[in-house]
Structure 1
Amino acid sequence: MKLIAIDREDNSVYQVIVNRHKLVSLLLNRFPEDYSSELDALEKIIDMEPEDVDAIIIGELHNQDSIDYEIKLLGEIEEVA
């Protein structure tokens, strides 16, 4: 699964590559009250804003060591005045 993340603190844009099933299992285990099923978790992941991918997905992946994932810096977005 490939997701786009944005860190608004430094305007960095990232691509997150992770196994879909492992990510869903991780979120179901960490936040069982937020997801009613694997399908619900997957739908919510797909609908996440890039800021949420940065805060939730990257944050959870950094806090564990059992899931292989890759984060690629794609660049920075410019501030619009």
Structure 2
Amino acid sequence: MKRERLDSSSLASAGYDPAAHVLEVEFHNGGVYQYLEVGDEEYEEFRAAPSKGRYLNTEIKPDHPARKLTSPRRRR
């Protein structure tokens, strides 16, 4: 899935598959997650949110199943 860079302190990029209703998010720490059953309107609200990290934490994570694609990088 193609992701767009975000201006966010916690999120590096995000992409959306409208046919599958999947929001894919890459965190600055390298972790990539897909949030399932995210509607088009909800994705547009996420994109328009002044704090995308806050929106993800309060509106997406509590209500949508997620799957981890890659784990966060470990700090050395």
**TM-score category (smaller protein):** 0.3 to 0.5
TM-score by length of 1: 0.40
- Bigger Rg, which one: 1
Larger RCO: 1 or 2 (CA < 8 Å, sep 6+) = 1
Higher-helix-fraction structure: 1
Higher-strand-fraction structure: 2
